[in-house]
A and B are shown apart, each in its own frame.
Chain A
Amino acid sequence: MQGVMPPVILCPACDLAHRRTATPSSGRTRCARCRAPLQRPESAAIETAIALGLCALVLFWLGNAYPLVAMHVGGSSRATTLMGAARGLYDQNYKTLGALVFLTTVIAPLLQVTALLYVLIPLWRKRTAFGQNAVIRLLTRVRLWSFMEVFMLGALVALVRLSKFAHVVPGIALWCCGLLMLCLSALASVTSPEQLWRWAVGSQE
């Protein structure tokens, strides 16, 4: 059934059937009953997605390799990386909490970006990556657990609390994580599931 778009679209939110219309060039279509978004506009070229993905990858690496923030108090100083923060929880015997932080701030973004690039780069070259479908499925699911923007806000709260009694110096990684957050959200808007499948299916023509 590939290549032929069915004439009916079911709303995944309320199960209402809609007649398929042409994909809008901008804006999006919504369900008649529950106003859930149905169709999204055709997004930019695959190159955009790949470019953003590369940026995200570089930013991810920078954001993890260097310390997020350094704290100076009472003559001594401490600094930590992103993974170090998760490790801190882990070391205090909160292993599940540490794993949760690690998953949502390190693993999920990384998987998200690498899976995307894994699929898109071959597609760009008109090829199909091995296990492409599974990877796309993985990608869309993992994306749901990537909480980079929440982390940024949480880091802000932590910095404010720290600055009350210590001298706090944001590290380079903090800025990189902020940019990564923007990058990831841009990426998510460019690579909606339908778009991904469009590219995926399109290349198989």
Chain B
Amino acid sequence: MGRRESRVSLPATGRGLGLLVCLDCRLTVRGVKLPRLQCPRCHARLHERKPHSLAITTVLLISAAVLYVPANLLPVMDTRTFFDDESDTIMSGVLVLLQSGSWPIALLVFIASIVVPLLKILALGVLLYSVWRRSPRGRLQRSQLYRMVEFIGRWSMLDIYAISLLATLVQVQTFASIIVGWGAWAFGAVVVLTLLAARTFDERLLWDAPRHD
């Protein structure tokens, strides 16, 4: 049916009105001046903003950024055949796919395993920076950026699942066997850390900065 918009002359935020919203059940409740608050409906802990959001997110993000380097430099997969021993990083795996002719899959892996994590890290970095700087510009865009980060986060896992299947199946003794490399571990860590970082980041911080009129 279309949107119903409520127009108020001054943005009335929950903070300003003394209201809280439960992030689990999305119930809006009246805030009470007590240190620990609980949602009346679902009994989840209530916070005005996610506690220590900035700090935790920053820590997670930095860890993810640090691990991103070995995730791409260390081999994720070691293919041992009767004749030789091939080590593949994520990038070389993409190239192998490209060379063997399946370029859509190569593109998919490239996007999911190289572009997306980088994008997430950069995006979260930008967001954190903007919050830190209390920059009021482009809040909508930043919000949309955040939502994109949250949405695509999970798709980076796809290479991990592919590796797990390959490593489990290709164990034909001396003919061919696939050994998982440390790059895969680092990569998994990057994915999890960025997922957690996106989750611990409180979106509302983006809108807390004063708006220029």
A touching B, CB within 8 angstroms? yes
Give the complex CA separation of A33 and B154 in angstroms: 27
Contact: B24 with A18, CB < 8 Å? no
Contacts of A13 in B (CB 8 A): 143, 203-204, 207
Give the complex CA separation of A159 and B97 in angstroms: 12
B95 an interface residue at 8 Å Cβ cutoff?
Answer: no
Chain A: CB-nearest residue to B167 = A88
B118 an interface residue at 8 Å Cβ cutoff?
Answer: no
State whether A74 and B175 are in contact (beta carbons under 8 Å apart), knowing that A35-B140, A134-B43, A150-B154 are contacts in the complex.
Answer: yes
B206 an interface residue at 8 Å Cβ cutoff?
Answer: yes
CB contact list, A67-94 vs B, under 8 A: 68-69, 71, 73-74, 76, 78-80, 84-89, 92, 94
Contact: B169 with A80, CB < 8 Å? yes
On chain A, the number of residues with a Cβ less than 8 Å from chain B's Cβ atoms is: 78
Contact: B165 with A85, CB < 8 Å? yes
Contact: B176 with A73, CB < 8 Å? yes
A147 in complex: contacting residue of B11, B157, B184, CB < 8 Å: B157
State which of B26-34, B119-127, B129-137 sits at the interface with chain A.
B26-34
CB contact list, B137-161 vs A, under 8 A: 139-140, 143-144, 147, 154-155, 157-161
7 interchain pairs (CB within 8 A)? A10-B28, A17-B19, A97-B160, A97-B184, A137-B43, A150-B155, A197-B25
Chain B residues proximal to chain A, CB less than 8 Å: 1-8, 11-17, 19-21, 23-30, 40-44, 97, 100, 102, 105, 108-109, 112, 139-140, 143-144, 147, 154-155, 157-172, 175-176, 179-180, 184-185, 188, 192, 199, 203-204, 206-208
